Amino acid sequence: MESTNGYLLKVEDLKTYFPIRKGLLRRTVGYVRAVDGVSFDVRRGRTLGLVGESGCGKTTVARTIVRLIPATAGRVSFEKTDILRADKKQMRNIRSNISLIFQDPFGSLNPRMTVGNIVGEPLKVHKRITGTELMGRVGDILSRVGLSRDHINRYPHEFSGGQRQRIGIARALILEPKLVVCDEPVSALDVSIQSQILNLLKDLQGEFELTYLFIAHDLAVVEFSCDAVAVMYLGKIVERAPADELYRNPLHPYTIALMSAIPRVDPSQRRARAVLGGEVPSASNPPKGCRFHTRCPLAEGECFEQTPPLEEKDGGKGHFVACWKR
Amino acid sequence: MKEDKTLLRVEGLSTHFMTEDGLAKAVQEVSLEINSGETFALVGESGCGKSVTALSIMRLVPDPPGKIVAGKIMFRGRNLLELSDRQMRRIRGNRIAMIFQEPMTSLNPVYTVGNQIVEAIRLHQKRSESEAWALATEMLGTVGIPDPEQRVTEYPHQMSGGMRQRVMVAMAVSCNPTLLIADEPTTALDVTIQAQILDLLDGLQKQNGMSILLITHDLGIVAERAEDVAVMYASRIVEVADCETLFAEPLHPYTEGLLKSVPRLGFAGERLYTIPGTVPEPLGFPSGCKFHPRCPIGAGDKRCQNDEPQLRQVGDGRCVACWYARGYETEAERNEYESKYGKHERISSQG
């Protein structure tokens, strides 16, 4: 049923809490509510951008979805399977259909393994392919991501940051997954390399019919790469909309502040901006009411008392925002 | 001489590192001029030599393996490279201060932030312990840290990244420097915090008229904050211009490519422009113009492959190092080229 409505991944009211333990007996004295009731869905063949500043929980969402971190509550449906309640066998199947691309191309590749072994390992584990067939497949995928077959026997340190990110992408794609979670895939790269990788990800999406969950903090990168965007603040989604709608008409004061904080690459557009004061509060003790109220220029009355629900605004465009003032 | 607007003039600076694998020419013949009260941006990708340029100005290049092999660094009429270590210590941290990218690692974790600011103050100013503490507290207030009396007694780990960067700024400006070198001051920070720190630097600059040498890879920051810009590529400056001119009309193909390849808000296209290839390493620099393997013109041009163009003035305050930049090539060079390789009509910039 789910597969017919066009959604590959559906996340409902996902919560991930980390216990804070103190004292000799390591008693739990509280929780860091890293992800606190997040819902979104990703359509087949599309890209959803998950945006927010460091510590907002965007990476935790990604890791919870692939069960690298146990969820506290909620539901994550991938095709017809509930990932959070899948047994070992189902999980094996899911893991070969969801892969990850990480931010740091230096830390995410084992320096003692050759490129061939790094990229080929998922095939060995999931498909039990070995020997010349394995290396043939590795060579194929390397040439698809802009590397060469001759690179198979080399080691990661022989490559530049951009090339290493290509190795990471090759590893993520070798099982021909349906969903790829890209966690800040370009933020560690040089400017002239970023655009190469962003274009590559787009090309591969068409070629392999991939669906992306794209995590980033850079709104300009997200605008280029994504069809829909969800903005996170302190463990909650504060605004979610199709990309063109969100960029044309941002509603949440946090989204607006985030956009205004991005330096424009054009000196003729120098302007006085609304600088957001203060810092992100701690997720172990989030502010009461709307979590953004401590930094919000519009906050008054009920903002301090009640958490605003994520509701559709402006009718029919799929634009959801969690703000009492909109 | 007193009316000279130039605060710092770097001339032909070259810094080399002796590594096990050979001689790495990290900075080659870099020249730049920073005016009083202005922000000068040095832009480039990682490994291009921008940080080594800054460290050379501060004379903080570790020797060995590094060595400043040529050049002059004229600061208020004195060549910093000729000063004794003792004279240099009086300038460093006092007249020229520096803030770094990593507020996590550039503060000492075992001393309170107050201790660290007081140390800088007492090293350069004749103040008593209690006066210095009072000034340190005041400085924390100036850089926008709430509750400075409390914060001054805290350790770096008790603060967020943004706060720590504010502490770095407080320490750097506590002696009222005339030049502040900010090496990627906001790269490790979130965009909203980045805007706060850059605004803070702007405010301090307006207050005490210091010059800022802003080192960054982020063209957006340059566009918003700098008066003049120098673009570095593979250890050389390839283009200098005032900010508006550079963005409106880049002359060097690298600058042009860089500007075209940044994703911008409001960009609706299907594909981004890309510069092919990767940034070369100092030990494997290509011959000729170092950008030629990635350049739309240079990749197939004999002269670009063999002869490295020097930075040359091509207009009012504009310098560029590219054979095909508008106004670069002399008549003689053109004739020489054409007699060697045949006719050419190429000009790099669309401008």
Q: How far is CA B244 from the centre of its chain?
A: 18
Phi, psi (rounded to 5 degrees) for B304: -60, -35
Per-residue DSSP letter, B190: -
Q: Is residue A235, in this structure, part of any structural domain at all?
A: yes
State the pLDDT confidence band at B350, using cuts at 50, 70 and 90.
Answer: very low
String of b and e for B133-154 (b: at least 16 CB within 10 Å)?
bebbbebbbbbbbeebeebbeb
Cβ atoms of residues A174 and A127 within 8 Å: no
B217: contact with A, CB 8 A cutoff:
yes
Of B160, B257, B267, the CB nearest to A223: B267
State the pLDDT confidence band at B2, using cuts at 50, 70 and 90.
Answer: very low
Query: What is the Cα–Cα distance from A193 to B287, expressed in whole angstroms?
Result: 22
Q: Is the pLDDT of residue A27 over 90?
A: no
Spell out which residues of chain B touch residue A258, defining contact as CB-CB under 8 Å. 191-192
Task: Reply yes or no: is the peptide bond before residue B65 cis, omega within 30 of 0.
Answer: yes
Smallest CA–CA separation between A21 and chain B, in Å? 19
Query: What is the Cα–Cα distance from B221 to B243, expressed in whole angstroms?
Result: 11
Residue-wise pLDDT tens digits, A70-86: 999 999 999 989 999 99
Across A30-45, average pLDDT: 93
Q: Is the pLDDT of residue B102 over 80?
A: no
Instruction: Convert A181-235 into a string of H (helix), E (strand) and C (coil).
Output: EEECCCCCCCHHHHHHHHHHHHHHHHHHCCEEEEEECCHHHHHHHCCEEEEEECC
pLDDT of residue A5: 61
pLDDT of residue A272: 67
Across A19-27, average pLDDT: 86
Across B141-163, average pLDDT: 89
* Rg (chain B; Cα; Å): 22
In angstroms, the Cα distances linking B70 to B9, B33, B73, B212, B281 are 14, 17, 10, 24, 21
Residue-wise pLDDT tens digits, A180-234: 999 999 988 888 889 999 999 999 999 999 999 999 988 989 999 999 999 999 9
pLDDT of residue A3: 43
Q: Is residue A161, in this structure, part of any structural domain at all?
A: no
Query: Structural domain tally of chain A?
Result: 1
Chain A residue with Cα closest to B200: A275
Q: Is residue A131, in this structure, part of any structural domain at all?
A: no
Of B194, B258, B267, the CB nearest to A261: B194
B163: contact with A, CB 8 A cutoff:
yes
Q: Is residue A273, in this structure, part of any structural domain at all?
A: yes
**What pairing do the DSSP bridges indicate for beta strands A319-321 and A311-313?**
antiparallel
State the pLDDT confidence band at B189, using cuts at 50, 70 and 90.
Answer: confident
Across B217-229, average pLDDT: 93
Task: Reply yes or no: is the peptide bond before residue B64 cis, omega within 30 of 0.
Answer: yes
pLDDT of residue B1: 44
Q: Is residue A324, in this structure, part of any structural domain at all?
A: yes
Q: Is residue A208, in this structure, part of any structural domain at all?
A: no
Spell out which residues of chain B touch residue A191, defining contact as CB-CB under 8 Å. 45, 217-219, 258, 261-262
pLDDT of residue B187: 84
State the pLDDT confidence band at B351, using cuts at 50, 70 and 90.
Answer: very low
Spell out which residues of chain B touch residue A196, defining contact as CB-CB under 8 Å. 274-276
pLDDT of residue A116: 94
Asked if A224 and B195 come within 8 Å (Cβ–Cβ), the reply is no
Residue for token pair 């007694």 = B153
B199: contact with A, CB 8 A cutoff:
yes
Across A152-160, average pLDDT: 91
Smallest CA–CA separation between A312 and chain B, in Å? 24
Asked if B278 and A193 come within 8 Å (Cβ–Cβ), the reply is yes
State the pLDDT confidence band at B268, using cuts at 50, 70 and 90.
Answer: low
Across B264-289, average pLDDT: 86
Q: For chain A, give the percent of residues with pLDDT over 70.
A: 98
Asked if A194 and B261 come within 8 Å (Cβ–Cβ), the reply is yes
Query: What is the Cα–Cα distance from A102 to A110, expressed in whole angstroms?
Result: 13
Q: Is residue A128, in this structure, part of any structural domain at all?
A: no
Q: Is residue A261, in this structure, part of any structural domain at all?
A: yes
Domain span including residue A252: 227-326
A114 token code pair:
């050759």
Helices (H) and strands (E) in chain B — how many of each? 12, 12
In angstroms, the Cα distances linking A5 to A1, A43, A45, A206, B110 are 7, 9, 13, 20, 58
Residue-wise pLDDT tens digits, B8-32: 999 999 999 998 889 999 999 999 9
- In terms of pLDDT, which residue wins out, A250 or B346? A250
Report the side by side order of strands in the sheet with A179-183: A98-101, A179-183, A211-216, A47-51, A228-233, A236-242, A319-321, A311-313
State the pLDDT confidence band at B5, using cuts at 50, 70 and 90.
Answer: confident
